[in-house]
Amino acid sequence: MTITIYVDVQHSGKPDKPRDRGATGNGWDEVGATRLIANGIEHACVTYADVHCIILSDGRYSSRHKRVNDYHNRIGGKAVYLALHLNALDSKPHKGVIFFHYQSKKGPALAQAVADAIKPAVGPTIPTPCESGDWTRNAYATIRGVREPIALCLEPFYIDSPAAKEWLFAEALEALGVEIAAAVIEHMKAT
């Protein structure tokens, strides 16, 4: 069975507007850091014969959800959509969050598998359902249009956290992507 991981680096721009930097902290911007995480996911996928990785962050912002659904209809198999984010603290706790659609039956288990896999690298990450009417609405907006694949919005740590200085370098961010991909792939193969 083929597994496809769709990776969306958030804040990577729109056709008529250059990308914004997203959150900033510790000398990094969100787009630069999440692109390295995406690179790690992509590199991990090529080590599996039956896993594909499609990076959607090419500036065609408005059509990403439609493209995921179109790709999935053509490719079939098992699939996961990952929206990558890194937020700033804004007085929030230092824990990262992995959001899943509040109506998803498979999202909670996958979010927990990813949280467990990345905990040694970035600390506790909390799997959290998201919907349109509460504080999770921004995460919900990134995944709500994806119909078939399991959709997660990953915010594994806060980019401006003092603790983030420990893993905010290229090799560690790519390694985090490899860990995310391995958790997703192993979970999808087992279910």
Residues composing the chain: 191
> What residues contact residue 83 under an 8 Å CB cut-off, 6+ apart?
8, 10, 139, 142, 143, 151, 152, 153, 154
Instruction: Give the residues of the chain that fall short of pLDDT 70.
Output: 11-20, 58-65, 90-94
**121 and 166 in contact (C-beta within 8 Å)?**
no
Query: What pLDDT digit, counting tens, does each position of 101-127 carry?
Result: 888 899 999 999 999 999 988 888 899
**26 and 159 in contact (C-beta within 8 Å)?**
yes
Set out the domains of the chain in order of their start, with CATH numbers. 3-190 (3.40.630.40)
- The pLDDT score that the predictor gives to residue 43 is 96
* Block residue for tokens 């560690």: 172
Q: CA-based Rg of the chain, rounded to a whole angstrom? A: 15
pTM of the complete model: 0.89
- The pLDDT score that the predictor gives to residue 62 is 45
